[in-house]
């Protein structure tokens, strides 16, 4: 699978000739994978010109090449989530849906979005064809009820159904996205998933380095406690939080 890497340069904002064509593609294929032939039709360009447009959009980070002859155009907000973290994705077939999902949460939550991070099997590079893509999403404000938060997640991710279907049909990758949504206040407290994220996580978006600071504080606390991550022969693991725990003692993180 070939995906053009994002490089931030002074040319990230599109020149007029390319911007006009980008908007045409965005209107025609927003989050939907498309072929070079479809791009030619949408742009009313010949094959050479359409190929140049797609090459430039990918080079500048405004589109992704999914496979030979297949592309997806990104919304403008994607420029705020793309970056060096992409090199941490060990299974690059997941990169398009990570970028797309993070961008959609940014669009939906707008200025309230604080952090987006990948954890679980995709962060470890151990995902299988039916593995979920696990995302932690931190926002300044969220509804208090779980059903309302789930409704928000569905609203964010529903436009990506064509991209997910393309990955299923062309890559054999059934990529269901599971989002754990927390407020900033909730995420400031130690969450059980953080113990997993200390070992493997990819921070995609992090305003003010909020999540990085939370994980760094937890790592420092575990170090002071003498905590140890113990691997099991089965491939699993557990945390031994203190070298010695007295009967009835409660260990708080």
pLDDT at 243 exceeding the cut of 70: no
DSSP H/E element including 180 = strand 177-183
- pLDDT value at position 224? 77
Interval 59-102: pLDDT, tens: 999 999 999 999 999 999 999 999 999 999 999 999 999 999 99
Interval 153-190: pLDDT, tens: 999 999 999 999 999 999 999 989 999 999 999 999 99
pTM, to two decimals: 0.87
Percent of all residues in the chain with a pLDDT value above 90, rounded to a whole number:
76
Domain formed by 1-74, architecture:
Orthogonal Bundle (1.10)
Give the Cα separation of 132 and 142 in Å (integer): 23
Using the 8-state DSSP alphabet, how is residue 191 labeled?
P
Q: Place 4 in a pLDDT band, splitting at 50, 70 and 90.
A: very low
- pLDDT value at position 251? 54
Cβ contacts of 96 within 8 Å, gap of 6 or more: 3, 64, 66, 72, 163, 167
- pLDDT value at position 61? 93
Alpha helices in the chain (DSSP H): 16-29, 36-43, 47-59, 95-109, 121-124, 146-157, 161-171, 184-188, 193-197, 210-225
Domain formed by 76-223, architecture:
2-Layer Sandwich (3.30)
Give the Cα separation of 112 and 202 in Å (integer): 20
Q: Place 1 in a pLDDT band, splitting at 50, 70 and 90.
A: very low
Give the phi and the psi of residue 240 in degrees, each rounded to 5: -95, 100
**Ranges in the chain annotated CATH 1.10.10.10:** 1-74
11-25, 37-51, 158-172, range with the lowest pLDDT: 11-25
- pLDDT value at position 253? 60
- pLDDT value at position 8? 43
**Ranges in the chain annotated CATH 3.30.460.10:** 76-223
Other beta carbons within 10 Å of 150: 13
């Amino acid at each position: 699978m070939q995906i053009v890497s994002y490089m931030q340069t002074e040319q990230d904002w599109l020149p007029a000739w390319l911007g006009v064509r980008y908007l045409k593609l965005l209107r025609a294929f927003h989050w939907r994978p498309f072929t070079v032939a479809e791009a030619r039709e949408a742009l009313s360009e010949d094959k050479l010109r359409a190929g140049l447009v797609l090459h430039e959009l990918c080079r500048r980070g405004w589109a992704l090449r999914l496979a030979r002859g297949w592309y997806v155009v990104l919304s403008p907000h994607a420029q705020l989530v793309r970056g060096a973290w992409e090199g941490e994705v060990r299974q690059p077939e997941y990169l398009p849906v990570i970028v797309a999902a993070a961008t959609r949460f940014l669009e939906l939550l707008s200025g309230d979005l604080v952090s987006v991070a990948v954890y679980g099997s995709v962060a470890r590079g151990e995902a299988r064809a039916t593995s979920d893509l696990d995302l932690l999403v931190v926002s300044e404000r969220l509804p208090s009820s779980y059903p309302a938060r789930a409704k928000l997640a569905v609203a964010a991710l529903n436009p990506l159904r064509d991209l997910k279907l393309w990955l299923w049909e062309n890559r054999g990758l059934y990529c269901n996205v599971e989002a754990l949504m927390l407020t900033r206040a909730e995420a400031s407290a130690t969450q059980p998933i953080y113990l997993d994220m200390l070992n493997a996580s990819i921070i995609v978006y992090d305003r003010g380095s909020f999540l990085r600071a939370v994980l760094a504080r937890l790592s420092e606390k575990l170090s002071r406690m003498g905590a140890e991550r113990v691997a099991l022969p089965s491939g699993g693991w557990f945390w031994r939080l203190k070298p010695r725990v007295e009967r009835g003692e409660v260990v708080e993180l």
